[in-house]
Amino acid sequence: MEKKVNQTHITLTQGDITQQHVSAITNAANSRLAGGGGVDGAIHRAGGPAIMAECDQIRQERGGCPTGQAVITIGGDLYADYVIHTVGPVWEGGKSSEPELLASCYRQSLKLAVENGIKTIAFPSISTGVYGYPMEKAAVVAIEAVTLFLKENERFSEVRFVLFNADDLKQYQRLFLSNQPKI
C-alpha cells in the first residue's frame, strides 16, 4: 500500500526490517545504544559488530541517546548503508508526553537522514514492543509525524513502514484507507 506526499512515496509492507534494500533503516533502540531484544537485537545481529562499535563510540562521546532523539551509524552487514537509532518512549498511559516523544523520534530520524543525504528510509513501529505503546496510537503518531515532515522536506524518494506481522500492518493500512490522519 502506498500514498504520496509531495514527491515522496510512503509505503507499507510486512516484513523484516533487516532485509530492506533502502539507504537507511531505523532502529528502535534503547538509550544506552547497547543492543537488546526485538528490532534492536535483530538489527545488531544482522548488521554485525561494526554497528555496535559505532554505538560504543557514541556512548563514550555522548553517554547514549535520550528518548525522542536519534543518532546514526553505518549499516554494517545490512543491505542498508546506515542505521538511524532512535529511542522511543515507554508507554505510561499517555500522560508522560509519550505522543510528543514518539513524534520526535520520527522527526529526528528524518532530520538525520536529510543531513546525511539519505533518500530512502525504512521505519519499524517504534515503541510498540517491550515499551508497550499501543499499536493503534503509535501508528497515528508515526504517520502524522512523517507526513508533516515530508510536507516541508522534499528530499526523500521513499519512506517505508515495515511492520513485522499482519495485525500491525492492518493497523497502518486502516489509517491509510480511512485517511485518518489526513495524508
Separation CA 139–CA 41 (nearest Å): 22
Q: Give, in degrees to the nearest 5, the angle at Cα 139 between 43 and 85.
A: 30
Mark whether 40 is an active-site residue.
Answer: yes
Catalytic residue chosen out of the listed positions 40, 77, 81, 168:
40
Active-site residues: which are they?
40
